[in-house]
Chain A
Amino acid sequence: MSDRMRIALLLAPAMTVIVVLFFGGLAVGVMRSFNWMPVIGLTEPNLDAYRAVLSDPDFLRSFGLTLYISITSTLISAVIAIAAALLLRQSFAGRGAINLLFQLNLTVPHIVGAIGVLYLFSQSGFFARMAFHIGLIARPAEFPALVFDPFAIGIILQYVWKEVPFIGVIVLAQMQALGTDYESVARSLGASRWQAFRHVLLPLILPGVLSASIIVFAFTFGAYEVPLLLGASHPQALPVLAYKTYTDVDLAARPEAMAMAVVIALLSALMIWAYLRATRARLRS
C-alpha cells in the first residue's frame, strides 16, 4: 500500500464525520432554503424563502441589531485589548497576577459568562440590590436596564468581557515579538508618545488586531446562546430569530429559517475570507 493511500485511509474516519455532518448538514440547509424538500412534496426549487425573509421587517431589524452588537462588541473589545496589552507589556509589580486574571476567562464558556452578567447586572441582580441597599434606588425598576434592553448592553458587556483577553493575548504576543525599538526610533525622530503609538506601533500590530477582530466579529454574529439569555424579546438577534423560526410549529417556515442561517453562514464565510487575507498580508510583511 502506498504512503498516500495509507494517509488517506487513516484520515478517512475523521473526514467522513466532517464531510457527512458538516457539509451534509450545510447542503441540506441550503437545499431547504431554496424550498427543495421532497419529503413534504416540495420538489421545485425557488427563491421564495429569501424573498420572504429579505422583505420581512423583523428579519431586517434582527439583522441590524446583530450587526450593531457585533460591530460594537468587536470595536470596544479591540480598544480595551490594545490598552490592556500596552499596560501588560511593561514590567511592574503584580504583572503576573494581572496577566493571569486577564487570561482566566478565556476558559470560561460564553454561557457561563452570560449567566454571570445576568446575576450581576439585571434589575434584580447583584448591583441593583447593592444600589437598593445603599439607597441609590427605591425600586428594582429604577436600576438602569442593562439586560434584556433594546441597546443590548448586557450582550455587549458579556462579549467584551469574554473577547478582550482573546484579542489581548494575540496583540500582546505581537507587541512582545516587535519589542520597543521601532517606537524608540520614532521617539528619537521627534514623535511624541502618542505619535509613536499612532504612527508606528498601531500600524505594526494592525494585522494582528484585524485578524483577531474578524474572528470575534464572525463569532458574535453567529452566536446564539448569549443573545438568547440576555437579549430583549423584540427585536431578537439573528441566530435567535433563525432558531425560533426553525422550531416554529409551521413546517412551511423552515425554508425561511434556513435562508436566515444561510445569510449568517455567508457573512461568516466572508469574514473568514477577510481573515485569511489579513493574516496573509501579515506573513508577507
Chain B
Amino acid sequence: MTRVLLSELTKTYPGTAAPALDRLTLDVPSGELIALLGPSGCGKTTTMKMIAGLLEPTSGDITFDGRSILWEKPENRGVVMVFQNYLLFPYMSVADNVGFGLRMRKVPKDQIAARVTEMLALVKLPDLGRRRPSELSGGQQQRVALARALIVQPKVLLLDEPLSNLDAHLRIEMRDLIRGIQKDLGITTIFVTHDHEEAVVLADRVALILNGQLRQYEVPDAFYRRPADAEVAAFFGGKNVLPGVSAHGTFDGPLGRLTLPDGARPGPGLLTFRPESVRIGPAPVNALKARVSERLYLGSRTRLRLTVGETVVDAVLSPDLVEGIRPGDEITINLPPGSLWIMAGTR
C-alpha cells in the first residue's frame, strides 16, 4: 500500500516554450485506482513516464509514502508501467514474458515457474504459458502484460489506456478483471486515458488534465453533475450550458426563472444540466414549453433536440418515454432542481 503524491510536477521538453505538464499536484491515496484523463498531448503519458522514472521532471517532486523517489533508478522504484500496445517480448513464450521481472531479480527457476502459473491463473489465462505472444488475441496479450507487471508485486501500477484497444464486450470483462485484481491486491494504480467513458467506468477518482493543468479531481459522478467549468462540462459531452445570474435560490437566464437546489453558487454564472436529467411532463417547478426540432434514435436511448423560446436544449431519454413524439410537436418538459448546477464563468 503506497500513497503517491505529485507536487508541482512540471515537464518542459527542450526546444518548446509551453510546458507539457504545468505544476501538477495530485494526491493519490493508498490502494486507489485513479484515472488521469485528458485529450492526447495533454501531458498524461509524460506524467506516467516521470512516475516510472523513464523521464526526468523539469521541476517538482514525486513522493511515495512521503519519501521522494526522484533519485531512484527505474528498476528500483517499484513502479511497473503497462503500455497501451502491451509490448510483450515477441521472441519469448508467454510464460517467459510473465516471469521476466523475476528472472531479472535472479529468483530461483522453480519459484518463478510457480509464480507464473499463479499469475496466469489470476488473469484467467491458464494453460497459455507455452504460446508465443503473436498467437494471442489483443485482449489476451493485455492480460499477459498485466500478469507480467503484477508478478513483481509493484507498489504502484501504471496503465496506459488499458481499455482503448478492446471492443465493447471485452472492455467490460477487462474492466472487471482490472478492478477485481486491483482491489484484491490493493495496489495503488494510476491509468491514463483520453476517453472519459473509460475513465468513469474504471476509476475511483478522475483527474482531468486540460492543456497541461489539472482542472478537476473528483469521483467520476462529479464530472457529470458538478463540472468545474464549461470546458470540463464540454469534455464530458455536456451541451446544455447557459449564462445567467443566480440569486436567492433561483437562476435568471434564457430559460426564464428556474428554481435551484440549496447551496447553489450565487452571482453571475453558467447553468448546466445533463441531457439525461431532462424530464417530460408537467411539474410544480421548472416546467417549460418546448418544441421538438430533431429526434435521433440511438438504440437504448433517444436524443431529442428541443427549443425553448430561442434556446436549444439537449435531452436524452429512454425510447419508450418519447414514443409518439415527432419533430414539430410542442411538449412540456421539466428540469428537476437537483439536476441543475451553476459553474463559474460568463461565457
Residues of A within 8 A of B (CB): 181-182, 184-192, 195, 199-200, 203-204, 285
| Contact A186 B81, beta carbon cutoff 8 Å | no
Q: Is the CB of A188 within 8 A of B90?
A: no
| Cross-chain pairs A/B with CB under 8 angstroms, 30 sampled | A181-B85, A181-B87, A184-B49, A184-B52, A184-B54, A184-B83, A185-B87, A187-B53, A187-B75, A188-B75, A188-B79, A188-B80, A189-B75, A189-B100, A189-B101, A189-B104, A190-B101, A190-B105, A191-B100, A192-B73, A192-B104, A195-B104, A199-B100, A199-B103, A199-B104, A203-B89, A203-B91, A204-B90, A204-B91, A285-B91
Distance between Cα atoms of A285 and B134 in the complex (Å) = 8
**A285 in contact with B90 (CB, 8 Å):** yes
- Is B337 part of the binding interface, using a Cβ–Cβ cutoff of 8 Å? no
Residues of B39-95 at the interface with A, using a CB-CB cut-off of 8 Å, are 49, 52-54, 73-75, 77, 79-81, 83, 85, 87, 89-91
Least Cβ–Cβ distance between A272 and chain B, in angstroms: 24
Interface residues of B in 135-180 (CB under 8 A from A): 148-149, 152
Question: Measured between C-beta atoms, what is the minimum distance from B208 to chain A in Å?
Answer: 25
Q: Which residue of B lies closest to A180 (CB)?
A: B54
Main secondary structure, interface of A, reads: helix
With a CB–CB cut-off of 8 A, which chain B residues contact A181?
83, 85, 87
The total of chain B residues at the interface (CB under 8 A) is: 26
List residues of B whose CB falls within 8 A of some A CB: 49, 52-54, 73-75, 77, 79-81, 83, 85, 87, 89-91, 100-101, 103-105, 134, 148-149, 152
Residues of A within 8 A of B79 (CB): 188
| Chain B residues with CB below 8 A from A185, complex form | 81, 83, 87
B75 and A190 contacting across the interface, CB-CB below 8 Å: yes
Task: Tell me the complex Cα distance, A186–B105, Å.
Answer: 12
Chain A residue nearest to B96 (CB atoms) is: A199
Bound together, the chains give a CA A140 to CA B305 distance in angstroms of 96
Which residue in chain A gives the minimum CB-CB distance to B49?
Answer: A184
Q: Determine the distance from Cα of A100 to Cα of B79 in the docked complex, in whole angstroms.
A: 39
Tell me how far the C-beta of B333 lies from the nearest C-beta in chain A, rounded to whole angstroms: 51
Q: How far is the CA of A97 from the CA of B327 in the complex (A)?
A: 69
Contacts of B75 in A (CB 8 A): 187-192
Smallest distance from the beta carbon of A206 to chain B beta carbons, Å? 8
In the complex formed, the residue of B with least CB distance to A200 is: B89
A188 / chain B contacts, CB cutoff of 8 Å = 52-54, 74-75, 77, 79-81
- Report B-chain residues with C-beta under 8 Å of the C-beta of A189: 75, 80, 100-101, 104, 148-149, 152
